[in-house]
């Protein structure tokens, strides 16, 4: 993963999970997602979307903070997936991130689950 | 319900100065390290005794305003934090100008490509004071230390 600044503030890992009924792309976000790393996050999500998965799950359990710039990047990926007939799901947000999703009503646009397993089953 | 007041000048009059902070105010200049800004706010909020959930709210609000410094200016910004027995105040000063006096007052569509930052600030803070002119912008975010329940 390439970042311009604050290399370790946000790390992402991407995996294709094939066990179970249908494969999905799982992206884990760890750290803090804000305007300083939102371009890098966009690159990661663009690359994931370009693979045209049916389901893209973002595991937010390791995310301490998300701001509106990061949210916009996620919403952008959601729109792209929607155009491709795919779906995005958010899993395991911590309280500050869950609040942010609720305040902005982003949780009305993208389903939010309490765990990755629930997200993959939903 | 968040109360907010906007003191925006009608050009070309200069904006009114805001009341002075306490003598033991803490100041920090940031350029691109918002994580540090957030950590300072969280630390001060906890020391002031602000409830955890509301401390997180204040961190989000201050981070959004500081992020606007990075989004809209090429300059550094200054974070100020002070509190008394009743409230904690975080102030962000930068060289940017907010031209729209209604900034942050309308809820953006969830899927809007921008504009969430100030709206979030107005939702979570008890009081927001914003002054902006050609010389720069100051945003002060107030949180009461004793509050019946988080938003």
CATH number, domain containing residue B56: 3.30.565.10
pTM of the model: 0.88
> Quick check: is B88 in a domain?
yes
Classify domain A10-121 at the CATH topology level: Transcription Regulator spoIIAA (3.30.750)
Mean of the pLDDT values across residues B33-41?
98
Mutate to test the interface with A, among B62, B107, B111 (most CBs of A within 10 A): B111
> Quick check: is B151 in a domain?
no
Between B64 and A19, whose confidence is greater? B64
Please give, rounded to a whole number of angstroms, the shortest distance from the CA of A115 to a CA of chain B.
Answer: 22
Give the domain ranges of chain A.
10-121
Looking at residue B11, its pLDDT comes to: 46
Helix H or strand E encompassing B71: helix B52-72
Could you give the percent of chain B with pLDDT greater than 70?
A: 83
CA atoms within 13 A on the CB side of A75: 21
Query: Could you report the predicted ipTM of this complex, rounded to two decimals?
Result: 0.91
Cis peptide before B12 (omega within 30 of 0): yes
Q: Identify which of A67, A104, A108 has the shortest CB distance to residue B63.
A: A67
Interchain contact, B35 vs A32, CB within 8 Å:
yes
Tell me the C-alpha distance between A30 and B151, whole Å: 26
Q: Return the residue matching tokens 């003191």.
A: B7
Name the residue in chain B with its Cα closest to that of A65. Answer: B60
Looking at residue A120, its pLDDT comes to: 93
Which range marks the domain in which residue B136 is found?
A: 3-16+26-144
Res A101 pLDDT > 50: yes
> Quick check: is B21 in a domain?
no
Q: What is the CA radius of gyration of chain B?
A: 15
Name the residue in chain A with its Cα closest to that of B55. Answer: A96
Count the domains in chain B: 1
Nearest residue to A119 via CA among A33, A41, A55, A30: A55
């Amino acid at each position: 993963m390439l970042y311009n600044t604050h290399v370790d503030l946000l790390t992402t890992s991407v995996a294709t999970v094939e066990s179970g009924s249908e494969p999905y792309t799982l992206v884990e976000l760890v750290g803090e997602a804000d305007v300083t790393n939102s371009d890098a996050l966009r690159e990661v999500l663009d690359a994931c979307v370009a693979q045209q998965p049916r389901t893209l799950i973002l595991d937010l359990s390791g995310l301490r903070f998300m701001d509106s710039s990061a949210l916009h990047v996620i919403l952008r990926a959601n729109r792209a997936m929607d155009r491709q007939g795919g779906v995005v799901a958010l899993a395991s947000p911590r309280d500050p991130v869950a609040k942010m999703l609720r305040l902005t009503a982003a949780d009305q646009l993208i389903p939010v689950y309490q765990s990755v397993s629930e997200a993959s089953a939903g | 319900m968040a109360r907010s007041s906007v003191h925006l000048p009608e050009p070309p009059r200069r904006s009114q100065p805001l009341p002075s902070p306490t003598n033991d105010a803490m100041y920090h200049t940031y350029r691109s390290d918002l994580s540090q800004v957030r950590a300072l706010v969280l630390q001060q909020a906890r020391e002031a005794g602000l409830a955890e959930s509301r401390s997180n709210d204040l961190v989000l609000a201050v981070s959004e305003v500081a992020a606007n410094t990075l989004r809209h200016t090429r300059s550094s910004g200054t974070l100020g934090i002070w509190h008394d027995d009743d409230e904690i105040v975080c102030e962000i000063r930068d060289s940017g100008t907010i031209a729209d006096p209604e900034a942050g007052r309308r809820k953006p569509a969830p899927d809007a490509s921008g504009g969430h930052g100030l709206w979030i600030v107005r939702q979570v803070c008890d009081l927001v004071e914003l002054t902006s002119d050609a010389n720069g912008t100051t945003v002060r975010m107030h949180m009461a230390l004793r509050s019946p329940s988080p938003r």
